Amino acid sequence: MTRTIVIAGGTTGMGRAIALDRLRRGDRVVAIGRSETNARELAEAAAEEDRRRLTFLRADLSTLAENDRVAAEIASSHGAIDALVLCANRHNRARTTTADGLEATFALYYLSRFLLGEALREQLADGGGVVVNVAAPGIKAGSVRWDDLQFERGYRGLKAQLQAGRLNDLLGVGFAAAHGADSPIRYVLFHPGFTRSGTASLSPPARTLIRLLGAVAALSPARAVEPILPLLDDPPHAPLTAIDRGRPVSLDLPTFDPGDARRLRALTEELVSRLRQRGCYSIATPTEAVNQAT
């Protein structure tokens, strides 16, 4: 059976490794990213006979309008979705704001994942699908700044990354709670461990250091995603599962607090509704889908 796998951030690193594996298995893959060059390299890495099952959607997922646009395009071009894999992320050394005026790490690493999961839930439900949110479940470092989620004070790139990782833990809890135990959609929070990817946006010295460390201590993207692949064919039974490098993570950890998850979901819904009222659609870029099929 040909399955449909949507990968946000599917053009490099772990998203790319999952895309290539699924194409080899005969699935349809929709890879979302910003760079045509990365998309072309992904297509070239796939076997020629697999490329016609690869669609690249170019989008900047750090804006509300772009998330809405790609979700609408996916919903109109594909029926049921078997898996939505969330990998898009970028390290921002200095505080950066998006076209919507949001702090960029919050917007891409957290809010986009909320938006895509919600916008594609009908298609996921039709396929009895699974959402795999690749982040850092259970991580104890960092904290959630409830009074300053977008780091208007004291921004540090690493702190913003750690916070967004924790917001994704709460996102998983909130998604499972909001859609109920009877929902056919399964949500998996996945920690890949230290992987030889994701260094493109680091400063040159940090990139060199991480690459040197990575050469001895990190997994290749293909190895890091190995525990994800069986979950795409056979999702766990529980509405929410957290996994760290193949091992289960207890959902009793404080980072999965249900009260915090409800609070974050309410804040997020309010933020999204405010952005929509403000008419963030005015900044939407024209529809653009580049199908890599020849």
Ligand X SMILES: NC(=O)c1ccc[n+]([C@@H]2O[C@H](COP(=O)([O-])OP(=O)(O)OC[C@H]3O[C@@H](n4cnc5c(N)ncnc54)[C@H](OP(=O)(O)O)[C@@H]3O)[C@@H](O)[C@H]2O)c1
Q: Residue 108, interface with ligand X (CB under 6 A)? A: yes
Please pick, from the candidates 3, 4, 15, 103, the single residue that binds ligand X as defined by CB under 6 A. 15
Which of residues 75 and 139 has its CB atom nearest to ligand X in the complex?
139
C-alpha span between 228 and 190 (Å, rounded): 8
Q: Which two tokens stand for residue 151?
A: 């780091």
Which of residues 127 and 137 has its CB atom nearest to ligand X in the complex?
137
Query: What's the closest the beta carbon of residue 182 comes to ligand X, in angstroms?
Result: 29
Q: Residue 172, interface with ligand X (CB under 6 A)? A: no
DSSP 8-state assignment for residue 70: H
Q: Residue 186, interface with ligand X (CB under 6 A)? A: no
Which are the contacts of 259, defined by CB distance < 8 A and separation ≥ 6? none
Which are the contacts of 101, defined by CB distance < 8 A and separation ≥ 6? none
State CA 244 to chain mean position distance: 16
Q: Residue 194, interface with ligand X (CB under 6 A)? A: yes
Please pick, from the candidates 3, 5, 11, 232, the single residue that binds ligand X as defined by CB under 6 A. 11
C-alpha span between 120 and 258 (Å, rounded): 23
Please pick, from the candidates 25, 35, 75, 244, the single residue that binds ligand X as defined by CB under 6 A. 35
Which of residues 258 and 287 has its CB atom nearest to ligand X in the complex?
287
8 A C-beta contact, residue 158 and residue 211? no
Query: What's the closest the beta carbon of residue 90 comes to ligand X, in angstroms?
Result: 4
3-class DSSP assignment, residue 254: helix
Residue nearest to ligand X (CB): 13
Only one of the segments 47-55, 123-131, 196-204, 275-283 lies at the binding site for ligand X (rule: CB under 6 A); that segment is 196-204
Query: What's the closest the beta carbon of residue 154 comes to ligand X, in angstroms?
Result: 21
Q: Residue 60, interface with ligand X (CB under 6 A)? A: yes
Site for ligand X in 109-138 (CB under 6 A): 134-136
Q: Which two tokens stand for residue 158?
A: 């690493």
Q: Residue 292, interface with ligand X (CB under 6 A)? A: no
Q: Residue 12, interface with ligand X (CB under 6 A)? A: yes
* Count of other CB atoms within 10 angstroms of residue 138: 21
The helix or strand, by DSSP H or E, that contains position 44, with its residue range, turns out to be helix 36-45
Q: Residue 71, interface with ligand X (CB under 6 A)? A: no
Only one of the segments 26-34, 175-183, 261-269, 281-289 lies at the binding site for ligand X (rule: CB under 6 A); that segment is 26-34
8 A C-beta contact, residue 261 and residue 173? yes
Q: Residue 220, interface with ligand X (CB under 6 A)? A: no
8 A C-beta contact, residue 30 and residue 43? no
| Geometric angle at alpha carbon 194, from 129 and 217, rounded to 5° | 140
3-class DSSP assignment, residue 159: helix
Binding residues for ligand X (CB under 6 A): 9-15, 32-35, 38, 59-62, 87-90, 108, 134-136, 192, 194-195, 197-198, 200, 221
